[in-house]
Structure 1
């Protein structure tokens, strides 16, 4: 008989799930099985969710908890469940982590906190206890312990129902928002605040969001002490101080702060690297690293600040607190960026495998089996070259040392001041590494002499043999680098010196091989080439470069792949025939026979997918009668505009006769009748009579009667005896901007129409309504492909009357291509700016998020939001309607929280559009 038979009778789904988990991982005794079935069956009889939670809880405890903890769990959950199934479920879910990861003290704190919150009501328990589970699952026992004390004390104070609900949501959210490395001591300061006055918690948390979170433990403790002192004297002063709303609070923060967040210097750093290298790089915090490499890199460097890049992004710490002052930490950011930018400015990542082999005096044309094998590897050229050596990590370390030496010499000649500022920091950090990390003496000495150009410091001691070998290799470096400064010269140096270094290190190994015992040399601040990341970020260019090179090889034309990739990177993926010719004519092979004279360039044909020039992309032919406009575009990665980046062309739509317009009016005849009546009411009366004015056009005879009566009665009469007649005008201009992207062609099954057809129907009703209301209005559509091919379709201009020509244009509107929304909004804003109306409104109808070539995700959202902001700054009200999309929180980022509506039922669009417009214009 199945021991879970009784449980199957109670709830087959829960029983099946439990049996699968138990059979896979857990061996239960007969007594444990009986207890499990009995308790879960009882819980299911109380409430299904309670039973499911209890089943999951027991299974988690059976895996790793002892008998005593399981019995404790049973007793406490049973007691809670007898009080009520909701409390039982909450305890079943959250008591597990406390028993698994905590001790008896933590359990007591947990139960005290639950008892305190329960007095206010079970509604206070779910969110705070969910945070307890999250903290314990992350191993943050100290932070959790303090957090439980906060819950126990806070909910034991006198709180209203509203305050209890508010803080039951706020406290867990706040504690979980603290950075993991800071959470324990930041939570302790929150506890100090609450012990003094629980109503100071809110302003303190506001202050944490504004900048208090960047204070170090002692500094935050001092700040809180000052704030509490002020609050005891005068509570309002303390609240403003803690929330950083007072000048005193801000000044104290600036005085105590030594931590520098990347967000405060990022814009300066972006501008600096663009000016220094001439290239566009995004600076990102380490927290935004791709997940697949985050844990490896963070574990490698620990809590020390470090820098690395992948050719598109330069990653820097989210904040730096290494030095004792704010200015020193800020300067460290600049130093790290300077050092990393050298790799890009001086072409470190343009390393070419074939060129490197030439420098080493060999070719890959079958001479070396290992060369052939390495060429087949799907990795960067640099990694292929390291793979030619027995110990790849040793080869990589030596290459990095030589490359940093090359960069030092070039920088010393070009930027001597920067070398004097930056390199002493590397020397200090190298000293720390020598003391704390125990690096290989030979590698450390080579790093000092070659990479930093320094002699042996006093703290460093090495035997004569090590010093002699280091001297020999650094001598070879100095002599070789004088003759050639290309990155491939480092490959030659590695080829020349690797055997000496490997033999020397092998002599010092007592057990095993060097390949198994070699430990990577740790560079100061993690400054090291990451060819693997660069390869991944530019893999598309790498593949194109290989294919172009292969096509040229078929015509017996030899080029370096790195030159092709370099041109692709510069042109953002474009490669024209002219580019190929320039690459061929500018080659400089060491073997003169492989070069081709520029006058003898052969004609080479390429597959069309390889040769692509964005400027030659198949845009629709320019309309000679139309205007072309250039607009800037916001690059969120650079925190700056790209001037004249986008080309917008106004296009005219050739209308044609169709029954679409009239059939839409017939289909919505009831709606049309209603909106005509409603919108006629929006039209003001010609003359508005206003009474009881001190001055006006004529006497108000009713007021004169009141005046006479009051005077006769001995009262002071009113002097408001006149009538004013004012001519009313409704001065509104509105532009309806319609998304004409290809995605709107999708069918809405319920309505048996496309999204585009429903949007057109909405435009028809919109035109009818506004024609009745007498408002100035225009209708336009937008689409396009690429930044140079944005199309703006004029359907109806402000100056045009609603006639058959406009109707035919609406009939002719069809889905086009993609959605570069920022440019369309900027052009529509330009149109509205030229109208003289007092109120100007831009209504946007789209079916989702902007999407175009090189215009996706966060980049597109940030540019669109900036375009909306620009319109608002010009006193143009922007409202958006998104159709056929589930509500996405990112729409708030796109338009602003209160500036858009989402319509999931597309068939409601025509009616909703008019309601929204009527509401806006009445306001």
Structure 2
């Protein structure tokens, strides 16, 4: 005890009077964690005052076990758990809970910290459980948590936290059924790993859900239905459980004051209706799991409310087309953009479990070498940021970086150009193998993984430097992504000097500071800095990179694998000696060792798969509002939402698509295109003007068969004379007068601006979008001569949350220079979600007072967007066109797609369509199509 006092672990007053057993426990606790021991000593007087000595010894004993598993949890335990132990009131309950908690310490053999946290939660929630259960059920309550912990410690922690509140809303004998339902809600994510999101959500929300259902019997019915649904579709089950209070309130809530037969009859009827409501969801489940989920989540018009669940991720499928345009534009090659699924587990050595294999065949290839010669591989989903726009930016930067490796020659390095380096490596390290590829050159080093990482850092730095130099438009996005990627990394990896130097090189490769690196590494860093500057010069090549990487390896080669940074921080609580690497943890090959490959920056392909557990549930509405507010200032109007027809549900998805309307203020350029079009088609424009002026009505017209007027209607007068001679009663309408004649037509032209319009049509490089723009300019010139009211719109899509609707000319706008410039500035954008764009154009046409209202849909192919393709897209577009017809609007689809007849008959139906057989003829054809429609 004198030793403990000398270390200031406790004071003599605090420990005076303790028996030898308790003193021995404190000595043991001090050896495990001094901080935990200090917290224990502070709480000890209160513990001895309020609890029996046996309970206090058991309390300390449990704290020792918890602190052994997790020092931080041990400190929390002694700070917070005493109140819960005292709250158990009787010594018997206290001992039972503490004993049960001790049994949970080793519940997870792979993670002692998980068992420590589980035991801590068991103690902290024990008093609440006893308040609900009384003397009975306590052992069974702890046993359920222990068994659940063997399956998943995280779920068991949530069990202990939430089950006391759950026991207030359901009987104890149904607690196991509640846990079973939670287990069934475990799903697998896109990376084929377990996803506990629904399980945790269910555990946490059950008290709130069931407390909103007034009767215990109904709660148990809801729980049973949830179990049945979870057997077949976890997402449908969770949607049902979340919406059950609303359904119960709407269907099963009985009016007050009813008694006897009347109440029983109404209850039976309500039960039947509730069964039918659940049964309809079960029938939807027979069709598809998504149908059932949408049904129970009330996402369709059939439901009482619309609730959209949020997943802040962006899928590659959404970005595939624009990213392919980007990489093909950068490289000038026809590259595909496909998904890759990185292995979650690195290869390990059978002889040394946990250590990466040093054989080159087992070293994971760097991201830049994972692509094939015609494919760029990207993650299937990015959830790195809360905002979709930020995830989309990361996709663009990742694609540009990988395209840079193609453009700037990473894949063009041949072994012959570095043969002198191979000879030098043979002499330096004694390897006699002759490499046949650059990949095999790394095998000549004692540590292939280290050599590869150094080359990866250097080559990535060269490519990034060239990208930001030659494509200034990428600099802003890359700078932002780089800054965020660096801040997400640990300050410096613990371990050897080599590890820290490699991390510093990674930061230097993106021009970030190396503040915080130990001074013992600084000399090497100073020598490496000018080497990295060499590869960032415009004249550097891929050969330069591999030679610089070799020089860097030489710098690190002088370091021993056992070299550790000098301690520059205070000792940790658990020991006074510096931890040294065990010789058994190293594989010596000269100066090589079992080097752990560094995790690359996320945009360079080093991002680990992100579990959907990290996504907040209800962010989507907030993000959409923030996005619309930010875009309004940049020339965008607030977002508008429209329903969308889901043929798989046989119903509309309520407020499913978001239209973001652009006022066109951000569209620049285009004047030269318009001017050239007016020159190229000047004779056609003159002919169209004369033709359309010819069908313009004269300002006045004669109206015959009137009772009075300005002149005699000769035909009517002759007919009157004939009638009199035939002795029949003649008509008195023998006059005529003149009245103003007005043409009453309003037309909206909706133009597809999807990425596919970037397709080249001829040897002159003219694209589909250029032909569309020429057609719009000629149509505008003709309509100006005719005098009809018209509007010109464009649309593209980036998923249902971001359908862009661009205004080139509104009905009330004049066809002036600004309007022409907007048309000339149209460029291919993203994808095309036709249904939402049609509905928005129809909403504008509805405000027109013209007798004839036309909607022309100008497209180059079938509708396509994220989760909007094939039958789904065709049926939604068809419904949007039918909706227009029901409102008295005449839609017509004009397309240059040769495959159009295979789907337009189905998509357009009664709306009608025209296929222009040659895209180049569209400018001449479009005005004549309009003329035939309106005359």
Q: TM-score w.r.t. structure 2 length?
A: 0.35
Q: As a proportion of its length, which structure holds more helix?
A: 1
Give the structure, 1 or 2, with the largest relative contact order (CA under 8 Å, sep 6 or more).
2
Q: TM-score w.r.t. structure 1 length?
A: 0.36
